[in-house]
Chains A and B, each alone.
Chain A
């Protein structure tokens, strides 16, 4: 599956005013010796004028295959296939989405469209959050929650304007929604670019980096609409058939509410670790080499989504344990 000629694509989300344009201007103007193209939205913030910028329309298309999760960004398919015809090879492509856009169709485009998947790969979803306003945005806009939930990296920006104990509060709030994203606290998005671009966060072997610490507890939450995460660990090996039945059915029936899922699995009778990660009902899975010697062979799964409590996830996962 790994293809070195695939150009990595970073998806940049965040509300208007959080600092996306500051970050894009840095990416376009800093002397980093790399060639990036930036796809911006026509309704986005003003102030970027550069040959490497492409205007997009953020057109979300439903495929006609009847799968409700197969909404893709049609404009992205068109623009990425155009960019792939360039004579000079790009080191990376950055796609900016508007504040009110759901990041799922962008991510799904890389799963659904074969031409896009052949030539580019989703590198990471990076969300710029405004440390001053994030808490109130999370209350008022479900898009803000989704942007936090989908993220691999969260730039908690404008921290210089917030008291230390308030930063701790915002940090905890983010962690409730998304336990595995890397949070970088910044002033004017001043994080090193190599912590934002070229992360390979969607490569399956990066799932192995899931920190077990985050996987211990069930989080309490306020109402069913909230995006939360749930995680489970098992030291008993899992039954592969039972797991596939349960998980396949779960994604088929509840995939709309499960925003992201990741896991490392220990199947009975299998020497190799199995790794998966999904966006809604689309999933990528593969064996990922033998278990490291001297380490516990424990299965770990994490779900981020809405209404997770009504999916009987714990019961379903426990039923997959081999007898």
Chain B
């Protein structure tokens, strides 16, 4: 009985699973970021592990409790934890505590060049180069998302009731408010920085055209949108939250206004929980509630490729190495697949 089951599972393995490595960490994978040829993953047990092809991951005991947020910063990662600590961690395990907020969580982190940013409660803290004391930006409710634009001149802060976009001029931050009723989470600038988009607590995403604050409401999802990613030159904003990867076109003057999204990577009964662009291609990886991952071109006539088969636990993170050679997939049970994307690698 057991042997049969194993044979069956073996035959169901995807090409990437056969040539890759699987690690069972035993705690939910919460975040993953790429630093050069390594992929750093934060876990629900407070560890940050650095994965690299051909070797065992290096484990850093970073936080007590969940690693809530993570981003890359020069050759390091910045993490925020349930233990109230904001940390800078190097891949050889050096931990530098930037700040300790005590019993308040560090919910969000962001960086641009040598600027380190985190949020705890309603306040955003900004550390610029060679300054020990952070600048602080106050908000009316708890900060739920942070994003820099590509020049690092603007910082979008999502919260209840909309987004505050802070602009840096002569070392001073000035606020501009983008309002929409409801609670806003993860936030992103479009690559051309003409739009900002948030994932809401309701099953919808909301966008604003920055120059005239025109609203874009993208609705019709059966569940919350936990993840989005910009894909291709158009570009498309690809979102989770549905049984497909839903791809909104952001080209032209009006972006997705009045247009229908393209849907690719159908997961059948499963809902998409994580999406990640394949750098330089018009293609996206989509992870689902059952742990499976599909790679699809943004083209409804093309068939997606199965990258990872079902694990029974929802995909919580996907990262691609900076040279596009490796993919890392993590789920809520803490199973990690690290594999080369290309057969000849």
List the interface of chain A (C-beta within 8 A of B): 51, 53-55, 57, 59, 61-65, 72, 74-75, 77-79, 82-83, 85-88, 113-115
Known: A82-B105, A86-B66. A62 touches B181 (CB 8 A): yes
Pairs of residues from A and B, 3 with the lowest C-beta to C-beta distance, nearest first:
A87-B27, A87-B45, A64-B182
* CB-CB nearest in chain A for B68: A82
Q: Provide the main secondary structure of the chain A interface.
A: mixed
Who on chain B is nearest to A59 by CB? Answer: B141
**Smallest Cβ distance from A282 to chain B, in angstroms?**
15
Closest to B180 in A: A64
CB-CB nearest in chain B for A88: B45
Q: Is B44's beta carbon under 8 Å from chain A? A: yes
- Chain A, residue nearest B101 (CB): A55
From A51, A75, A79, A87, residue with most partner B Cβ within 10 Å: A87
Assess the B144–A85 pair: CB atoms within 8 A.
no
B80-111 contact mask (Cβ, 8 Å, vs A): 1 or 0: 00100000000000000000000111010000
Q: A59-B142, A74-B142 are in contact. Are A87 and B121 (CB under 8 A)?
A: no
Is the CB–CB distance between A64 and B202 below 8 Å? Answer: yes
B86, chain A: closest CB distance, angstroms: 15
A53 touches B103 (CB 8 A): yes
Cβ–Cβ contact B64 & A113, under 8 A: no
Interface bracket on B? 20 to 34
Question: Which residues of chain A have C-beta atoms less than 8 A from B122's C-beta?
Answer: 57
Is B201 an interface residue, CB under 8 A from the partner? yes
Could you tell me if A75 and B202 are in contact, using CB atoms closer than 8 angstroms? no
Does B256 sit at the interface, judged by CB under 8 A?
A: no
A51 to B65, CA, bound (A): 9
Cα separation A276 to B104 with both chains bound (whole Å):
38
- Bound together, the chains give a CA A77 to CA B202 distance in angstroms of 12
Contact string, B33-69, partner A, CB cutoff 8 A, digits 1/0? 0000000000111100000000000000000111010
Q: Which residues of A contact B44 (CB under 8 A)?
A: 85-87
CB-CB < 8 A to A55: which residues of B? Answer: 103-105
Name the one of B104, B141, B181 contacting A74, with C-beta atoms under 8 angstroms.
B141
Q: Which A residue's beta carbon lies closest to that of B102?
A: A55
Q: Does B28 contact A (CB under 8 A)?
A: yes
Residue pair B141, A87 in contact (C-beta under 8 Å):
no
Q: Does B223 contact A (CB under 8 A)?
A: yes
Once the chains are docked, how many angstroms separate the CA of A173 from the CA of B103? 39
Q: In the complex, which residue of chain A has the Cβ closest to the Cβ of B43?
A: A87
Which A residues are in CB contact (< 8 Å) with B202? 63-65
For the complex, what is the distance from the CA of A170 to the CA of B193, rounded to whole Å? 63
Residues of A with C-beta under 8 A to B181: 62, 64
Could you say which residues of chain A place their CB within 8 Å of the CB of B183?
61, 74, 77
User: With an 8 A cutoff between CB atoms, is B224 at the interface?
Assistant: yes
Q: Once the chains are docked, how many angstroms separate the CA of A87 from the CA of B27?
A: 5
Q: Chain B residues near A65 (CB, 8 Å)?
A: 202
Interface string of B138-151 (1 = CB under 8 A from A): 00011010000000
Complex CA distance for A74 and B66, rounded to whole angstroms: 19
> With A62-B181, A74-B183, A85-B30 in contact, is A57–B160 under 8 Å at CB?
no
Name the one of B30, B107, B160 contacting A59, with C-beta atoms under 8 angstroms: B160
List 21 A-B residue pairs with CB atoms under 8 Å apart, sorted by A's residue number: A54-B82, A54-B105, A57-B122, A57-B141, A57-B142, A61-B183, A64-B182, A72-B201, A74-B201, A78-B107, A78-B144, A82-B66, A82-B68, A82-B105, A85-B44, A85-B68, A86-B65, A86-B66, A87-B43, A87-B46, A87-B334
CB distance from A264 to the nearest CB of B (A): 32
Q: Which residues of B contact A85 (CB under 8 A)?
A: 28, 30, 44, 66, 68, 332
Asked if residues B103 and A54 are in contact (CB atoms below 8 Å), the reply is yes
Interface status of B134 (Cβ within 8 A of chain A): no
- Residue B312 at the chain A interface, CB threshold 8 Å: no
User: Which residues of A sit under 8 angstroms from B104, Cβ to Cβ?
Assistant: 55
A266 to chain B, nearest CB (A): 35
Q: A78, B224: Cβ atoms under 8 Å?
A: no
Chain B minimum-CB-distance residue to A57: B142
Interface status of B26 (Cβ within 8 A of chain A): yes
Residues of B within 8 A of A57 (CB): 121-122, 141-142
Shortest beta-carbon distance, B55 to chain A, in Å? Answer: 23
Which chain B residues lie closer than 8 Å to A88 at the CB level? Answer: 45
Q: Closest CB-CB distance, B153 to chain A, in whole Å?
A: 28
Measured CA separation A64–B30 after assembly (Å): 28
- Kindly identify, within residues 101 to 129 of chain B, every residue whose CB is under 8 Å from any CB belonging to chain A: 103-105, 107, 121-122
How far, in angstroms, from A320 to B121 measured CA to CA in the complex? Answer: 50
Residue of A nearest to B144 (CB): A78
State the CA gap A63–B183 with chains docked (Å).
Answer: 7
